[in-house]
């Protein structure tokens, strides 16, 4: 006696369904949009000349901040504000800047005359730089040629890095 299966097997149909499901998933993953990969701006720059301009700009900003600090930001409660670093993220492929921040730290110290202990009140700031949307690294590097990189208008805007610091410090 031959056994008769009520559901005949169709291996190609099963494979076809699996393939259709996989293709639908793959299509959905691509529909979610491109994935951007942001890196430190120095890692994006492709040639030695632009790398030198970038690191020169960072050094120049630090020096310009040090020159004005005593008359501006360092007059208040924290008189010893120091630049810790100026950092930008850039899209690895096209150089669009994700964000630039300038990080600072400062402290106020007092000596307790009764016991000689030094009391420190430390603070840090993460100042966002007011960049126009879709600013590229190449455009940002253009301020390196200005008389004052700190006060130069940022590409596509009337704001300067200094303006960003006023809003932050």
pLDDT in tens, 58-82: 999 999 999 999 999 998 899 999 9
To the question of pTM greater than 0.85 for the whole model, the response is: no
Query: Which residue's entry shows tokens 């299509």?
Result: 27
Q: What is the pLDDT of residue 76?
A: 86
How do the domains of the chain map onto residue ranges?
38-166
Q: What is the pLDDT of residue 90?
A: 98
**Per-residue pLDDT for 40 more than 90?**
yes
**Per-residue pLDDT for 31 more than 70?**
no
**34 phi and psi angles, rounded to 5 deg:** -70, 150
CA distance 149 to 51: 17
Kindly provide the b/e burial profile for residues 111-120, where b requires at least 16 CB atoms within 10 angstroms of the residue's own CB: eeeeeeeeee
Confidence at 116, pLDDT banded by 50, 70, 90: very high
Q: Can you tell me whether residue 11 is helix, strand or coil?
A: helix
165, two tokens: 């610091």
The arithmetic mean of pLDDT across residues 118-132, rounded, is 98
Beta carbons of 107 and 122 less than 8 angstroms apart: yes
**Per-residue pLDDT for 35 more than 60?**
yes
How confident is the prediction for the chain on average, in pLDDT?
Answer: 87
The arithmetic mean of pLDDT across residues 124-131, rounded, is 99
Q: What is the pLDDT of residue 32?
A: 64
The arithmetic mean of pLDDT across residues 114-140, rounded, is 98
Q: Can you tell me whether residue 20 is helix, strand or coil?
A: helix
**Per-residue pLDDT for 10 more than 80?**
no
**Per-residue pLDDT for 146 more than 50?**
yes
In the chain, alpha helices (H):
11-31, 41-44, 48-69, 137-140, 161-166
């Amino acid at each position: 006696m031959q056994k008769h299966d009520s559901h005949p097997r169709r291996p190609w149909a099963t494979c076809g369904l699996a393939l259709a499901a996989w293709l639908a998933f793959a299509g959905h993953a691509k529909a979610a949009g491109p994935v951007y990969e942001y890196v430190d701006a120095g890692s994006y720059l492709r040639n030695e000349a632009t790398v030198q301009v970038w690191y020169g700009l960072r050094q120049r900003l630090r020096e310009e901040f040090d020159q004005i600090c005593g008359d501006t930001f360092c007059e208040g409660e924290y008189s010893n504000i120091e630049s810790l670093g100026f950092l930008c993220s850039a899209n690895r492929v096209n150089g669009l800047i994700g964000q630039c921040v300038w990080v600072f730290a400062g402290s106020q110290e007092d000596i307790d005359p009764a016991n000689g202990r030094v009391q420190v009140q430390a603070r840090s700031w993460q100042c966002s730089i007011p960049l126009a949307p879709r600013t590229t690294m190449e455009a940002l590097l253009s301020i390196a040629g200005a008389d004052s990189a700190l006060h130069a208008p940022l590409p596509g805007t009337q704001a300067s890095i200094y303006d960003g610091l006023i809003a932050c410090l």
